Amino acid sequence: MIANRKKLIVVVGPTAVGKTALGIALAKHFSTEIISADSRQFYKEMTIGTAKPDAEELHQAKHHFIDSHSIEEDYSAGDFERDALALLANLFKRYDYVVMVGGSGLFVRAVCEGLDNLPKVPSEIRDKLNNMFEEYGIEPLQSRLKEVDPDYYENADIQNPQRVIRALEIFEATGTPFSSFRQRDVDARPFEIVTIGLDMEREQLYNRINERVERMIEKGLVEEVKALISYRHKPALLTVGYVEIFDYLEGKVPLGLAIASIQQNSRRYAKRQITWFKKYGNTTWFKPTEFDAIVSYIEEGV
């Protein structure tokens, strides 16, 4: 390690594993601030379904990119890369360490490595694909992606409508597979990156996910989603916890089935997150309870 080089501590892992708590504990230990890399927590209208840090947690450490945007705005991973790097440049003038917490792999990668230089897509292409998803579900879109871009299909989170639609709109706009645009070279960053992955026994994790969903319902998730129904085609709302309640509100399924679907889809999402981060970069894995070992690894690399 270069002497006196600044460190970005990146905390990743599946939903409900305890990333928020560890991020706050690390921020307090290193007397620093936190950047949220959860792509849904940016939006001030989405609180319950995104499991944002609560008021007490936000008071314990300063967070950035929580409630920073409105759902009416389009905010991409490229936008986040630009804004987060500018923020880091300022934070590293004051701190030797900064903590970044998030389960959104694309947004983590944007800050740590840089993203591809993707072409602009006409809005009518995106609208057409969103309408297809609304009318026919994700399966036809998955089949189309497998046909036109098998490389991306094999490696992508194909259960995520936002990812599938994004890949298809690039192909529709350019005639070139999305995978061919993917950046091969990592952009060098002027700071060291230490990536901490959190994991736990599957049964324990899945129980935590199920309980979290029940708490979301108790806190008013249905009412939150109802207030967002006019924005339901926004990419951030084509995600677990929102699409299932939209289906309930439109009378497609009873509430009990919608809740069970959120739990099941959240468990599946957690599994995909683990797979993604195990393939990503130089992530070192710990249990959420191993705080001392995590601090030792960050400080000493052991």
How many residues does this entry show for the chain? 302
Residues 200 and 294 in one domain: yes
What is the distance between the alpha carbons of residues 277 and 14, in angstroms, rounded to a whole number?
Answer: 9
Distance from C-alpha of 283 to C-alpha of 112, rounded to nearest angstrom: 12
**Do 25 and 73 lie in a common domain?**
yes
Two tokens, residue 198: 């959190």
> Which residue is listed with tokens 């309980």?
211
In-domain check, residue 102? yes
Tell me, yes or no, whether 207 and 97 share the same domain.
yes
Instruction: Note whether 110 and 222 are same-domain residues.
Output: yes
Same domain, 152 and 281: no
Q: Do residues 112 and 106 touch, judged by C-beta distance below 8 A?
A: no
**110 and 177 both lie in a single domain:** no
CA gyration radius for the chain? 19
Say if residue 284 is in the same domain as residue 215.
yes
For position 60, which CATH number holds?
3.40.50.300
Give me the tens of pLDDT residue by residue for the chain, a chain 302 residues long.
Answer: 444 689 999 999 999 999 999 999 999 999 999 999 999 999 999 999 999 999 999 999 999 999 999 999 988 888 999 999 999 999 999 999 999 999 888 899 899 988 777 777 888 898 899 889 888 888 999 999 999 998 888 877 788 888 899 899 988 988 888 887 765 555 789 999 999 999 999 999 999 999 999 999 999 999 999 999 999 988 889 899 999 999 999 999 999 999 999 999 999 999 988 988 888 768 999 999 999 999 999 998 65
- Domain containing residue 236: 7-115+184-300
Per the listing, tokens 């992606």 go with 145
Region of 251 on the Ramachandran plot (φ > 0 left; ψ -120 to 50 alpha; else beta)? left
Same domain, 202 and 294: yes
Which residues lie across from 64 on neighbouring strands? 35
Domain tally for the chain?
Answer: 2
Residues 190 and 54 grouped into a single domain: yes
pTM over 0.75: yes
Would 2 be classed as within a structural domain? no
d(CA 103, CA 47): 16
User: Does 200 lie in the same domain as 111?
Assistant: yes
